[in-house]
Amino acid sequence: MEDFLHPDRFFSPDPGQRSIARDLYEGVKNLPLVCPHGHVDPRIFADPEYRFGSPTELFLVPDHYIFRMLYSRGVQLEELGVPDREGKSSFDPRRAWQIFADHFYLFTGTPSGIWLRDELANVFGISGKLHSGNAQEVYDQIDKKLHSPDFSPRSLFARFNIEVLCTTDAAADKLEFHKAIQSSGWDGRILPTFRPDTVVNLDTPGWINHIHKLEEAAGIAIADFKAFISALEERRGFFKSMGAAATDHAALTAQTLDLSDLEMETIFQRALKGKSNKEDAAAFTTGMLVEMARMSIDDGLVMQLHVGSLRNHNAEIYRKFGLDKGADIPVTSEFTRSLKPLLDRFGNHPGLTLILFNLDETTYARELAPLAGHYPALRIGPPWWFHDSLNGMRRFFDRVIETAGVYNTVGFNDDTRAFPSIPARHDVWRRAACDWAAGQVVRHIIDREDAEQIVEALSYSLAKQAYNL
Amino acid sequence: MEDFLHPDRFFSPDPGQRSIARDLYEGVKNLPLVCPHGHVDPRIFADPEYRFGSPTELFLVPDHYIFRMLYSRGVQLEELGVPDREGKSSFDPRRAWQIFADHFYLFTGTPSGIWLRDELANVFGISGKLHSGNAQEVYDQIDKKLHSPDFSPRSLFARFNIEVLCTTDAAADKLEFHKAIQSSGWDGRILPTFRPDTVVNLDTPGWINHIHKLEEAAGIAIADFKAFISALEERRGFFKSMGAAATDHAALTAQTLDLSDLEMETIFQRALKGKSNKEDAAAFTTGMLVEMARMSIDDGLVMQLHVGSLRNHNAEIYRKFGLDKGADIPVTSEFTRSLKPLLDRFGNHPGLTLILFNLDETTYARELAPLAGHYPALRIGPPWWFHDSLNGMRRFFDRVIETAGVYNTVGFNDDTRAFPSIPARHDVWRRAACDWAAGQVVRHIIDREDAEQIVEALSYSLAKQAYNL
Amino acid sequence: MEDFLHPDRFFSPDPGQRSIARDLYEGVKNLPLVCPHGHVDPRIFADPEYRFGSPTELFLVPDHYIFRMLYSRGVQLEELGVPDREGKSSFDPRRAWQIFADHFYLFTGTPSGIWLRDELANVFGISGKLHSGNAQEVYDQIDKKLHSPDFSPRSLFARFNIEVLCTTDAAADKLEFHKAIQSSGWDGRILPTFRPDTVVNLDTPGWINHIHKLEEAAGIAIADFKAFISALEERRGFFKSMGAAATDHAALTAQTLDLSDLEMETIFQRALKGKSNKEDAAAFTTGMLVEMARMSIDDGLVMQLHVGSLRNHNAEIYRKFGLDKGADIPVTSEFTRSLKPLLDRFGNHPGLTLILFNLDETTYARELAPLAGHYPALRIGPPWWFHDSLNGMRRFFDRVIETAGVYNTVGFNDDTRAFPSIPARHDVWRRAACDWAAGQVVRHIIDREDAEQIVEALSYSLAKQAYNL
């Protein structure tokens, strides 16, 4: 396996740097995994007997990183078992796996290729590239393991050495699975995260139904903006009581506006009547971001903001298959002017931690690092999505640290729904951090002592501290 | 010559990476050159006896990469023999060459410097830097060779090992030189490319004259938009019959709009009456891009789109000297929102190949790679123009491959009008690709087998496949 | 001290590159420092007996690079002695120094960390990291030295081997300190720079008062735009007579517009009546940039333009503490379209040198290098502010040189108000330039002779030539 997964992988070829990187990595590779943001389904931990399905259902069907690439080269989503909008799919898992193997070369040099290789080797003991010839044999090997108790989610959670795993949950979610986990006596720490996007974004399809669910969950009739806010506060309180450390917010832009209650109420009333328009939705989001910052100061939940993804870009794919099908495409982001209204109110408040993520790397050195290097309330999240990659991490370190320093960042988020890929993702980050720090040492920018502190912080304690975990 | 052109040039100094890069390069350096996009004048191949003029006319006069740099440091274009708008120039080729040599140090570390050094050494056998002292001697050496049959375009074509060379030709072009080449019995493969910019861009100076030429060439009276489309289809058919593989389109932005025939007709009628304005021209371009994608699906011609160059930025130079004088300056580009209308119609169509080029590298990781990593119709062209350089290529590989993979790119385009520079340009790309792949190998991101496949694809087969050559 | 400040610091770990970098650095490390742009207070050189205050007043109080980072992690500016808007502060310098030392780890890997380490070691002989434990001891050591004549500004000026130092001075400044320096017989060359921002930017708080000062200084009553221009010309003449080489202009954007005298007069009259608005101010700036270019051609002063900083982003900090408190945050910049009106008038003029600085690195390869690689009037300033860092310099070299060449850049500006940090800043640049050039040599892109010329130019002669010093 050493040949397949080289122990020095992702380190500089320079012997001096490599040697230091290796030493640094030795010090952090076995630290527990802190996972403050991700999309793993809590259901898989609620039932101790839960088993993942076939290899195809584990690796392909839920992973839009994978099937988007196959789709780009002519494979149809139907062939891979991706369910349609109604959740229906009809496919042959072995045939789908064969197609995956036939196209495995497409992932050469991509993060997906790296994670898959690591997962196959370290989780399933398969030390060789997947290809047309070994596809069915590999399928059999994985399939067999997936039926064993050693490969239940709870077993893997323990084996992966996960200290805490945060899920992402809708505002109206009753957190039944989290309750079941907590009452089961299992000691795995699975925490919810409050994500109110469907009720905050007025243009969510079926928005009013989400409001009804929120009413029901909060036990508050939502006839006006004030009640809406009360309902959100109630839910945040409930999430917090269930162990939540943070909230999460998605927006196309980082625009914030400190709108008056009257302005918000006016828009909200239009929305309740089904008469709000696109401009209303955009304005409401800008105001709600400020409102959410206020609530974070009140209840201490850390606020995460993910901006810059234009969702569901491919109209036909969206119509047929719905959300999260690999067709979310980044756009430019702006923070300096956009965040000013929020920061004018709360940027100097010691009680706010606002963690920023986006997909426009030009903002790293130009806006995010100068902002986070000044405002007490701001922190910079790790490279997100397409930039959760070796080059993405290198660019992040190169562009962020000089101006923001290490301690205005928050370590790593795996941000994945692919549970078995979690160790591989953290390992890439830890290796990238160690190699970057080693590069600073051999250039005599920092010393060994600094480097050891930095890689420990990036691998473990920054995430724990930033999210109060 | 080994000292002047080091055999390991452009490779990493790391011994391990260099050694692998060298091995990979050995495997691709002699592959035939596939040149799917460029601006070489087909005239030079039509006449077997064609000879290039003086060294000055070969190297300086037509190369805006060269004379723009001299101009930036105070040399006047007149001194270099750059012809004015009427094509007139009065200059002393030896004096111009001397000025060039006196300023050769300006090209230190630039792609032009690299190409010139390679051309001088490998095409003309001159192994030393050009400088004030050797200017006239070098002039004599080149001048002598240019008179020899070994330095005719056809001889160089064979010596350069060019498999296919695509030119770029106006929609109304009768392709006389291509016909002459094909009927001459010479086996060099010179293919036209259909570039309809002058008739598609309503604000082309003398647009109506270009329409008249198109009418004549197509044998179709163009009284309305429908006839205009028919004429373009006729010409595409003719280009295809002459071997064309692709079309090429230049636009300031990538904006597309799926306009109705009525909207297009209305604008077109205004244009025919000489009454269209700037907004009409912009709108018409957006609609024609969608129209051209439709035609590509119909006739199978690959569609190339080059965006983001603000042409003729220097008003005075444009007034005196006209187009292509080194004063085309890039602007920011946007693809995510701009291409959506076109992609909503044709992005999932297996019959479309749309290759995207632009001059705003921030789009690589943010927009182009995610788009091409999802849509079957999209491919990413190699780094263009100012980015056709060692650093430009490194940034391209670093930012594109992780998200789009290797196989959503299309290898290399030399995109040059400087025919003798073609081998130097491909060699830089091949060396850059080998060094990049070797860097992936020594970091254990990919293995040797992957690396060999990738560099072959980037050097040769991707271009051939993407353009169906 | 060699262990603390490694002699090979900032050089590549590759032995070949490092060895060449070291050789190149040997050739430039002792060249005199040319400082064509900065913010050192000329007052400190006017009085031979001038002494810096406490270590806290030297290092912390005036340096917004330092206190912004402490502020971002919860330290209050009041604790550090940063004076409020009225210039009042009440703090314990030793306590502030202790807080600084307690948080010194925040600067790990930042330029401030690098400069501080260099200053402490090379200026004050303190070879070890500052930390909680040694804070007071280090304070004592520095404090003692600051009282010695060897640490007077004039002594340090000589010891630093500064050939010329340009300050930045308001248009109405009577340059009393420059006069005092010149008449004192001291041979240090301290030159003023003409910065008319407060009178050119109509939205400067108290603009009319600045106009009154300008009237008084120029001896010209400013009742209309023409008189305003005459007053500026008079002041430029005075600055030039005092040795000024350049002007400096700050603007949020690079927008220029060739407005008529009537348009400018109309706006100016509104401003005189206190009735100009935000749009007036923006328009006036665009017109004044063109006007200033015209004046530069007339009087030969080099024109510097710094764009892209949104000043005083933090409303609360601005209200309490005023300008320059680490809360100036960059925004995107645009040059291609913005500069065209100015360049249409003066871009080809041999008498203009316009040096461009900005904080949006995406403009380097996309806009600045192509513009400067064509227009005789344009040059690219070194990486500014947050980008005055090792990575910022590497990105600058990588993105600018291939298209603009070395000789359309202007070497280094330290741009600092922290006088004792000047040698450290130049040293970082020289080391970065040598390492970059060495990297080109080992990749056989340039040869040793080229490299030696380039690093000399970047370290010394380009600045001298570009500013006519």
Residue closest to B463 by CA, chosen among B29, B26, B37: B37
Give per-residue pLDDT as tens, B281-294. Answer: 999 999 999 999 99
Sign of CA dihedral B330, B334, B338, B339: positive
Secondary-structure breakdown of chain B: helix, strand, coil percentages, each rounded to the nearest 5: 55, 10, 40
Contact between residue A313 and residue A328 where contact means Cβ atoms under 8 Å apart = yes
Q: Chain C within 8 Å of B25 (Cβ-Cβ)?
A: no
DSSP 3-state assignment of B378?
Answer: strand
**Which amino acid, B214?**
L
pLDDT confidence tier of residue A91, bands split at 50, 70 and 90: confident
Backbone angles phi, psi at C170, to 5 degrees: -65, 155
The predicted model gives B188-212 an average pLDDT of 97
Superfamily for B15-46+160-466? Metal-dependent hydrolases (3.20.20.140)
- Angstroms from C383 CA to nearest CA on chain B: 18
What whole-number distance in Å separates Cα of residue C442 and Cα of residue B6? 10
Token duo for residue C336: 């291609």
pLDDT tops 60 at residue B131: yes
Choose the closest CB to A398 out of C105, C326, C391. Answer: C391
- Angstroms from B302 CA to nearest CA on chain C: 27
What whole-number distance in Å separates Cα of residue C188 and Cα of residue C46? 10
Mean pLDDT of chain A: 97
Q: Chain A within 8 Å of B154 (Cβ-Cβ)?
A: no
- Partners of C8 on chain A (C-beta within 8 Å) are 444
- Angstroms from B301 CA to nearest CA on chain A: 18
Strand ranges across the sheet with B162-166: B33-35, B162-166, B190-191
Burial of C141 (0-12, 13-18, 19+ CB in 10 A): middle
- Angstroms from B360 CA to nearest CA on chain C: 6
Contact between residue B113 and residue B65 where contact means Cβ atoms under 8 Å apart = no
Contact A365 C361 (CB under 8 A): yes
Q: Which residue of B has its CA nearest to A316?
A: B344
pLDDT of amino acid B1: 46
What whole-number distance in Å separates Cα of residue A36 and Cα of residue B22? 44
Beta strands in A221-289 (DSSP E): 246-251
Task: Report which DSSP code applies to A250.
Answer: E
What whole-number distance in Å separates Cα of residue B228 and Cα of residue B22? 53
- Test mutation, A72, A314, A362, chain B, max B CBs within 10 A: A72
Q: Where in chain B is the domain with CATH 1.10.2020.10?
A: 51-151
Q: Chain C within 8 Å of A367 (Cβ-Cβ)?
A: yes
- Angstroms from A27 CA to nearest CA on chain B: 20
Residue C403 zone, left/alpha/beta (φ > 0; ψ -120 to 50; rest): alpha
Contact A375 C110 (CB under 8 A): no
Q: Which residue of A has its CA nearest to B12?
A: A13
Q: Which chains touch C (3 or more CB pairs under 8 A)?
A: A, B
Q: How far apart are the first and last CA of chain B?
A: 35
Q: Chain C within 8 Å of A253 (Cβ-Cβ)?
A: no
Give per-residue pLDDT as tens, B216-264. Answer: 999 999 999 999 999 999 999 999 999 999 999 999 999 999 999 999 9
Superfamily for A15-50+153-466? Metal-dependent hydrolases (3.20.20.140)
pLDDT tops 80 at residue B3: no
For chain B positions 400-429, those within 8 Å of chain A (CB to CB) are 401-408
Strand ranges across the sheet with C169-170: C169-170, C194-195, C246-251, C302-307, C354-358, C378-380
Would you tell me the crossing angle of helices A261-272 and A207-218 to the nearest 10 degrees?
110
pLDDT tops 80 at residue A81: yes
Buried-state track A247-257, b at ≥16 Cβ within 10 A, e below 16: bbbbbebbbbb
What whole-number distance in Å separates Cα of residue C456 and Cα of residue C468? 17
Length of chain B: 469
Contact C343 B310 (CB under 8 A): no
Choose the closest CB to A405 out of C13, C69, C359. Answer: C69
Task: Report which DSSP code applies to A387.
Answer: G
Give per-residue pLDDT as tens, A172-207. Answer: 999 999 999 999 999 999 999 999 999 999 999 999
- Angstroms from C334 CA to nearest CA on chain B: 8
DSSP per-residue letters across B255-294: ------HHHHHHHHHHHHTT---HHHHHHHHHHHHHHHHH
Give per-residue pLDDT as tens, A413-451. Answer: 999 999 999 999 999 999 999 999 999 999 999 999 999
Token duo for residue A341: 């209204």
Q: Chain A within 8 Å of C396 (Cβ-Cβ)?
A: no
DSSP 3-state assignment of B46?
Answer: helix
Length of chain C: 469
Q: Chain B within 8 Å of C446 (Cβ-Cβ)?
A: yes
For chain A positions 213-252, those within 8 Å of chain C (CB to CB) are none
Tell me: ipTM over 0.85.
yes
pLDDT tops 60 at residue B91: yes
Q: Which residue of C has its CA nearest to B428?
A: C445
pLDDT tops 60 at residue B398: yes
- Give the pairing type, strands A190-191 and A169-170: unpaired
Backbone angles phi, psi at B4, to 5 degrees: -75, -45
Token duo for residue C62: 């005036």
For chain B positions 333-362, those within 8 Å of chain A (CB to CB) are 334, 336-337, 340, 343-344, 347-348, 350, 362
**Which amino acid, B246?**
A
Give per-residue pLDDT as tens, B5-23. Answer: 999 999 999 999 999 999 9
Contact C329 A403 (CB under 8 A): no
pLDDT of amino acid C1: 46
- Partners of B447 on chain A (C-beta within 8 Å) are 129
DSSP 3-state assignment of B144?
Answer: helix
Contact B370 A360 (CB under 8 A): no
Q: What is the pLDDT along chain C (469 residues), one digit of tens a residue?
A: 446 899 999 999 999 999 999 999 999 999 999 999 999 999 999 999 999 999 999 999 989 999 999 999 999 999 999 999 998 988 899 999 999 999 999 999 999 999 999 999 999 999 889 999 999 999 999 999 999 999 999 999 999 999 999 999 999 999 999 999 999 999 999 999 999 999 999 999 999 999 999 999 999 999 999 999 999 999 999 999 999 999 999 999 999 999 999 999 999 999 999 999 999 999 999 999 999 999 999 999 999 999 999 999 999 999 999 999 999 999 999 999 999 999 999 999 999 999 999 999 999 999 999 999 999 999 999 999 999 999 999 999 999 999 999 999 999 999 999 999 999 999 999 999 999 999 999 999 999 999 999 999 999 999 999 999 9
Contact B72 C343 (CB under 8 A): no
Q: Chain B within 8 Å of A310 (Cβ-Cβ)?
A: yes
- Partners of B389 on chain C (C-beta within 8 Å) are 402-403
Q: Chain B within 8 Å of C375 (Cβ-Cβ)?
A: yes
- Partners of A110 on chain B (C-beta within 8 Å) are 401-403, 405
Token duo for residue A72: 């780009």
Superfamily for C51-151? uronate isomerase, domain 2, chain A (1.10.2020.10)
Token duo for residue B467: 């353009």
- Partners of B365 on chain A (C-beta within 8 Å) are 361, 386-387, 392
Q: Chain B within 8 Å of A278 (Cβ-Cβ)?
A: no
Can you give the pTM of this predicted structure?
A: 0.98
Q: Chain C within 8 Å of B278 (Cβ-Cβ)?
A: no
Contact C314 A374 (CB under 8 A): yes
Token duo for residue C461: 């002669």
pLDDT of amino acid C3: 63
pLDDT tops 80 at residue A3: no
- Give the pairing type, strands C329-330 and C309-310: antiparallel
Q: How far apart are the first and last CA of chain A?
A: 35
The predicted model gives A95-116 an average pLDDT of 97
